[in-house]
């Protein structure tokens, strides 16, 4: 039988070009990339051996039967290995091949081994094919059954595995995975059952490999367009695979100080060109390292095994002492370096990136020429923070943010006159999470607005369900975070809730910290809109920020709450500014709340100092709603009894 080999020759040429292109480009240390190189090699071998076998079939008597068997066996062995490699590559793309047990791998490899043996032993069994006395090729008695079982197993199993773990794959990767398997299978069916005298499997497999190369294995998606080296996504993919397989991770990050400022001075275009030169020079000069550009002037160096990171870091520091760029526009950078060694236990990409970010922050704060090494203890802190963040997100989704109320005592009326609503969080795994743990995390990741919304709705419900006048409570104080204050929807969201619960805005006093005063004009506009409806404002935690007193006085606050740190420093003798602060604000008509009151002596002295309200554990800790109501009524009853005794 004579076969048409033109498609196979085209497939061979395409595969060779892909191989050369693959060899020319630098590889990321992915297992799937290594499998891909192996896959192209097998494609080239199988196409070549198939062409040779068909060429020999044109004049079979010119070659020995042994030669016919050797060439055909070489073709089938390489083709079987190619299908096997397709399957392994598919599984490797999920990043979950490490989870497969050794016994499962043996089951997975068993059909491959049987097919391999059936091909190798076919000169004796004639199971797969045989060569007759004249040198003609014939399919064997088990050819179709063997191929059917082999292909069904190695197409359905890896596709099923990929589908099961599709959430771990890039969004388009599952589509392309199905695509290249469909092409490969189409070629087999057409050649085996439709165009039996035309070699089509090779060209269809080449098309499948092109899909992998362009859409899955494409290095451009892992390359920073400006700098020309691997980007942060590539770094995350490499680290993720290393974590999955338990490979050591030894990484340093170089951070350019004040990069946003430099970008505004030199312009983004020029700075990117300089960073491109930096990436090229480090890549060329530093061996045993994979270089990545993360963002905002930060480069990551992922070290290979047995590489001395200290020597490389010192060399890079020396190079950065000299300017970069062209003669007409040289730029000098000051850098900081942090290092996460392979001996530090790691569990996730998130904790690695967070620890590197924190390490750079500390290095910049110390401002020295020493690399900031990240310790195992620091990783544990990051890990604990991530757990808290997950607990916060879960609580927000499940609407489990609770509210506790802390009473505020009036020194003039000598009774509880207002209460502060405080967010509380309890997690099934972590237990009670303190506000100073979860509030900063929520402010950082942007979920503080959801917490504020849930707290405010519960406060509105509390007011509607209780007689505030009977309680003697003029208003409830609610914190607004700096992020909430920047939202253009804040005012409408607040009053929509108040209208829904039929709440008088006068019963709400909003608290804002000094950190929210970064844009005084926008903040003032927002405050005036709310004040027009009847609510009021307190400046919360005064003394913890660095606000300008003149700017502060221009904002429409009615109450100033002095932070407990200033109160405590006065009573422990480390600072004497508290009376002056109270006098300054009182003289300008502000009502003063002193926080952190813990003893009778503190309460007496703060009252005599001129504080209008007192808040702290001396009166009560933050209580659930029902306990707060009981406390207020009991406090009133005790005061009445004391007056009766007098």
Q: What is the CATH number of the domain that holds 341?
A: 3.30.70.270
**Beta-carbon contacts of residue 565 (< 8 Å; ≥ 6 apart):** 543, 544, 596
Same domain for 233 and 214: no
Q: Using pLDDT thresholds of 50, 70 and 90, give the confidence band for residue 291.
A: very high
Residue 384 lies in a domain: no
What pLDDT is recorded for position 498? 93
**Four-residue CA torsion sign, 118, 124, 127, 133:** positive
- 191 assigned to some structural domain: yes
Residue 383 within any structural domain of the chain:
no
Whether residues 357 and 416 fall in one domain: no
Residue 32 has pLDDT above 70, yes or no: no
The residues, any chain, with a CB within 8 Å of residue 62's CB and separated by 6 or more, are 56
Mean pLDDT of 317-335: 85
Among the three residues 220, 248, 269, which one is the final residue of a domain in this structure? 220
| 299, 286 contact by CB (below 8 A) | no
Instruction: Inform me whether the pLDDT recorded for 514 exceeds 90.
Output: no
62 found inside a domain: yes
pLDDT in tens, 518-569: 777 888 889 999 999 999 999 998 887 666 677 788 889 999 999 999 999 9
Q: What's the domain range around 51?
A: 6-220
Residue that finishes a domain, picked among 191, 220, 249: 220
Instruction: Name which of 52-56, 190-194, 392-396, 480-484 the model is least confident about.
Output: 190-194
Residues 108 and 196 in one domain: yes
Specify whether the CB–CB gap between 181 and 146 falls below 8 A: no
Q: Does one domain contain both 127 and 266?
A: no
Q: Which tens digit of pLDDT belongs to each residue from 100-147? A: 777 777 888 888 888 889 899 999 999 988 998 888 888 889 888 888
Measured over all CA atoms, what is the biggest interatomic distance in the chain, rounded to whole angstroms? Answer: 129
Angle (CA) 137-9-31 rounded to 5° is 100
Mean pLDDT in residue range 244-249: 84
Are 161 and 91 in contact, with CB atoms under 8 Å apart? Answer: yes
**What per-residue confidence (pLDDT) applies to 180?**
75
- Assess whether 406 and 355 both reside in one domain: no
Do 242 and 227 reside in the same domain of the chain? yes
Contact 36, 217 (CB under 8 A): yes
pLDDT at 1: 60
Residue 502: partners with Cβ closer than 8 Å, 6 or more residues away: 464
- Residues sharing a CB contact under 8 Å with residue 383, sequence separation 6 or more, in sequence order: 347, 351
pLDDT at 617 (0 to 100): 94
Secondary structure of 96-123 as H, E, C letters: CHHHCCHHHHHHHHHHHHHHHHHHHCHH
- pLDDT 10s digits, 158-171: 888 778 877 666 66
* 135 and 180 share one domain: yes
d(CA 454, CA 423): 9
Residue 344 placed within a domain: yes
| Per-residue pLDDT tens digits for 597-646 | 999 999 999 999 999 999 999 999 999 999 999 998 888 777 766 666 65
396 with 511, same domain? yes
Determine contact, residues 307/249, Cβ cutoff 8 Å: no
Question: Residue 179: is it exposed, middle or buried by C-beta count within 10 angstroms (0-12/13-18/19+)?
Answer: middle
Q: How far is 403 from 622, CA to CA, in rounded Å?
A: 9
DSSP run (H or E) holding 607: helix 600-609
Give the CATH number of the domain where residue 154 resides: 1.20.1070
Same domain assignment for residues 333 and 403: no
Q: Select from 215, 629, 617, 597 the least CA-distant residue to 411.
A: 597
**Mean pLDDT of the 442-447 span:** 84
Instruction: Report which of residues 585 and 18 the model is more confident about.
Output: 585
What does the alpha-carbon distance between residue 178 and residue 206 come to, in Å, rounded to a whole number? 15
- Compute the mean pLDDT over every residue in the chain, rounded to the nearest whole number: 86
CA distance 366 to 331: 23
**414 with 466, same domain?**
yes
Same domain, 122 and 246: no
Q: What H or E segment, with its residue span, contains residue 137?
A: strand 137-139
* Res 216: pLDDT: 61
Most confident of 72-86, 510-524, 627-641: 72-86
Tens digits of residue pLDDT in 384-432 = 888 888 899 999 999 999 999 999 999 998 899 999 999 999 998 889 9
Question: Can you list the positions of beta strands (E) in 8-50?
Answer: none
Which residues in 470-506 are b (16+ Cβ under 10 Å) and which e?
Answer: ebbbbbbbbbbbbbbbeeeebbeebbebbeebebebe
Please give the sequence-ordered ranges of beta strands (E in DSSP) within 449-599, or none if there are none: 475-480, 508-513, 536-542, 559-562, 591-595
Q: What is the mean pLDDT of residues 287-316?
A: 91
Instruction: Give the model's pLDDT for residue 396.
Output: 92
Distance, in Å, from the CA atom of 392 to the CA atom of 414, rounded to the nearest integer, reads: 38
pLDDT of residue 330: 82
Instruction: Give residue for tokens 């942090």.
Output: 338
φ, ψ of residue 139 to 5 degrees: the values are -75, 145
Q: What is the spatial distance between Cα 147 and Cα 65, in angstroms, rounded to a whole number?
A: 24
pTM of the model: 0.65
521 falls within a domain:
yes
Q: Are residues 396 and 422 in the same domain?
A: yes
Domain count, the chain: 3
Q: How far apart are CA 542 and CA 527, in angstroms?
A: 18
pLDDT of residue 44: 93
Kindly state whether residue 380 falls inside one of the protein's structural domains. Answer: no
Give the pLDDT confidence score for residue 328 in this predicted structure. Answer: 65
Which tokens sit at 122? 């076919």
Please tell me the distance from the alpha carbon of residue 611 to that of residue 599, in angstroms, as a whole number.
Answer: 15
Distance CA 307, CA 289 (A): 8
Is residue 457's pLDDT more than 80?
Answer: yes
Mean pLDDT of 331-350: 89
Which of 176, 205, 220 is where one domain is finished?
220
Residue 475 falls within a domain, yes or no? yes
CATH classification of the domain holding 417: 3.20.20.450
Alpha carbons 482 and 497: distance in angstroms, whole number = 20
> Of residues 55 and 37, which shows the higher confidence score?
55
State the pLDDT confidence band at 36, using cuts at 50, 70 and 90: confident
Between 440 and 292, the more confident residue is: 292
């Amino acid at each position: 039988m004579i076969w048409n080999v033109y498609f196979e020759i085209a497939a061979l040429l395409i595969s060779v070009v892909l191989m050369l292109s693959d060899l020319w480009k630098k590889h990321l240390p992915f297992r799937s990339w290594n499998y891909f190189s192996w896959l192209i090699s097998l494609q080239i071998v199988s196409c070549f051996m198939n062409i040779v076998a068909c060429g020999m079939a044109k004049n079979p008597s010119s070659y020995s039967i042994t030669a016919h068997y050797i060439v055909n066996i070489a073709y089938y062995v390489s083709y079987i290995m190619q299908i096997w490699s397709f399957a392994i590559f598919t599984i490797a793309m999920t990043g979950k091949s490490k989870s497969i047990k050794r016994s499962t791998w043996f089951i997975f490899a068993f059909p491959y081994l049987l097919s391999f043996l059936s091909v190798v032993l076919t000169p004796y069994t004639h199971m797969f094919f045989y060569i007759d006395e004249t040198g003609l090729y014939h399919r064997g008695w088990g050819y179709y059954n063997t191929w059917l079982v082999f292909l069904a197993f190695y197409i359905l199993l890896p596709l099923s595995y990929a589908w099961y773990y599709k959430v771990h794959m890039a969004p388009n990767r599952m589509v392309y995975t199905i695509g290249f398997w469909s092409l490969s299978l189409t070629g087999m069916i057409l050649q085996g059952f439709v165009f039996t005298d035309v070699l089509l499997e090779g060209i269809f497999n080449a098309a499948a490999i092109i899909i992998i190369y362009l859409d899955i294995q494409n290095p451009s998606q892992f390359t920073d367009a400006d700098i020309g080296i691997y980007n942060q996504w590539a770094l995350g993919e490499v680290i993720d695979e290393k974590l999955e397989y338990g490979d050591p991770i030894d990484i340093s990050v170089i951070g350019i100080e004040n990069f946003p400022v430099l970008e505004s001075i030199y312009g983004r275009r020029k700075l990117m060109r300089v960073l491109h030169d930096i990436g090229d020079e480090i890549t060329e000069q530093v061996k045993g390292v994979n270089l990545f550009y993360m963002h905002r002037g930060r480069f990551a160096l992922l070290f290979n095994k047995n590489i001395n990171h200290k020597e490389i870091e010192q060399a890079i520091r020396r190079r950065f002492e000299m300017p970069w760029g062209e003669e007409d526009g040289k730029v000098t950078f000051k850098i900081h370096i942090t290092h996460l060694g392979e001996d530090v236990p790691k569990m996730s990409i998130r904790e690695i990136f967070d620890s590197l970010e924190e390490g750079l922050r500390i290095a910049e704060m110390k401002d020295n020429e020493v690399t900031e090494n990240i310790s195992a203890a620091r990783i544990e802190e990051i890990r604990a923070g991530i757990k808290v963040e997950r607990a916060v997100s879960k609580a927000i989704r499940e609407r489990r943010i609770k509210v506790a109320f802390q009473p505020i005592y009036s020194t003039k009326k000598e009774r509880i006159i207002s209460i502060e609503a405080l967010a509380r969080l309890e997690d099934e795994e972590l237990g009670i999470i303190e506000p100073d743990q979860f509030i900063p995390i929520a402010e950082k990741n942007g979920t503080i607005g959801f917490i504020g919304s849930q707290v405010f709705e519960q406060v509105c419900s509390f007011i509607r369900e209780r007689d505030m006048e009977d309680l003697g409570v003029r208003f409830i104080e609610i914190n607004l975070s700096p992020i909430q204050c920047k939202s253009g929807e804040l005012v409408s969201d607040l009053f929509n809730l108040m209208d829904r619960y039929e709440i008088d805005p006068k019963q709400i006093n909003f608290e804002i910290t000094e950190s929210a005063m970064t844009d005084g004009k926008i903040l003032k506009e927002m405050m005036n809109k709310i004040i027009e409806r009847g609510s009021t404002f307190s400046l919360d935690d005064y003394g913890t920020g660095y606000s300008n007193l003149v700017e502060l006085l221009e904002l429409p606050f009615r109450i100033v709450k002095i932070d407990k740190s200033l109160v405590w420093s006065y009573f422990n003798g480390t600072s004497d500014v508290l009376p002056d602060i109270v006098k300054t604000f009182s003289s300008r008509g502000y009502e003063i709340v002193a926080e952190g009151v813990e003893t009778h002596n503190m309460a007496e002295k703060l009252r005599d100092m001129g504080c209008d309200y007192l808040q702290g554990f001396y009166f009560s800790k933050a209580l659930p709603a029902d306990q707060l109501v009981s406390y207020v009524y009991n406090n009133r009853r005790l005061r009445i009894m004391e007056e009766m005794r007098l």
